[in-house]
Amino acid sequence: MSLFRRAAITAALAGLMAGPALAQTQLTLQHPLPTNSHYGVGAAAFKETLERLTSNRYRVTVQRNDNEREMVESAQIGTIDCTMTSTGPVGNFVPAVRNVDVPFLFRDYAHARGVLDSEIGQSILSQFNARGLVGVIWLENGFRHLTNSRREVNLPADMRGLKVRTMENQVHMRAFTTLGALPTPMAFSELVPALQQGTVDGQENPIPVIVANNLNQVQRYLTLTSHVYSPALLICNPGTMGRLNSADRASFMEAARAAQMANRNRVSADDASGVEELRRRGMIVVTTVDTAAFQAALAPAFAEYERTLDGALLRRIRDWRPAQ
């Protein structure tokens, strides 16, 4: 037998032993923050878990895009597969989400996470399908706080006249208008230039976002208002989800749960250390906030939420307690 023929037979046998090559599917996941952030670690956990469970038949490309509305639109039309985003712009696509953006709705993290992981949160996720999206799982952005470059904010009266960047979210904007501030909705990608140029005086975001984006460089005052809990979501394109077989869908959901755990753990860690880090960076931090005064000042907004949102759902959320 010739050397050439022996080599050909050896190669053919090796190919048979290796079996057919498995097709590889690329998924694109976008989120709005740096890699070293609560979204970044959540995305990394999702990628690592899905690739491991599917033996790399699925490969995930993680990209940053700090225009959250654009990401949701892209997931809806299928130019990306999935996005991790705050609920800020999502109410424009799935109106039921606006209910979880109401100020002072959640008592603490345990309350918020418990509600969103319960039947209440799942019923909201089920409403995404009719809007051309899949709400996969609840993630977290954290309790939002106020920063500004003009003055300390201790009481609702200190808010008057402040130009505050908000998300494109009517629930948040109504609250700031009621407090006498001037809400200015804009994409997060526009925020730092707007603060630098004085287009707005301040903004409101959770501690992890403020830390990760070095907003201390353009803001002097931080007030720990905890005025609204900001959930986040893993949202995907229906076509992407529809192409998963039952085993891959199970792997996908396990990856989503891994992302949720990594995301929430990072929010907890950043909340625990972030305020001191921002003080170290030179911010003046107001820690004693008269929450009752802010709630009283927001009474007209709360009355409007009861009329224009789902009042029964809001009451269910406020009254929720963990099962004994």
Domain 22-319, what fold? Answer: D-Maltodextrin-Binding Protein; domain 2 (3.40.190)
Alpha-carbon torsion (309, 311, 315, 317), positive or negative:
negative
pLDDT tens, position by position, 40-97: 999 999 999 999 999 999 999 999 998 999 999 999 999 999 999 999 899 999 999 9
CA dihedral 85, 88, 92, 94 (to 10 degrees): 60
- Tokens matching residue 277: 């880090």
| Strands 202-206, 163-166: pairing kind | parallel
Phi, psi of 130 (to 5 degrees): -65, -15
pLDDT at 189: 87
pLDDT at 95: 96
Q: Are 256 and 31 in contact (CB under 8 A)?
A: no
For residue 223, what is the enclosing H or E element?
Answer: strand 221-236
pLDDT at 22: 56
Regions of the chain where pLDDT drops below 50: 2-5, 7-21
- Closest to 171 measured CA to CA, from 230, 231, 102: 102
> In a 3-state reduction of DSSP, which class is residue 215?
helix
- Tokens matching residue 237: 């394109």
pLDDT at 82: 98
163: β partners:
182
206: β partners:
144
pLDDT at 17: 42
pLDDT at 18: 41
Alpha-carbon torsion (13, 19, 20, 21), positive or negative:
negative
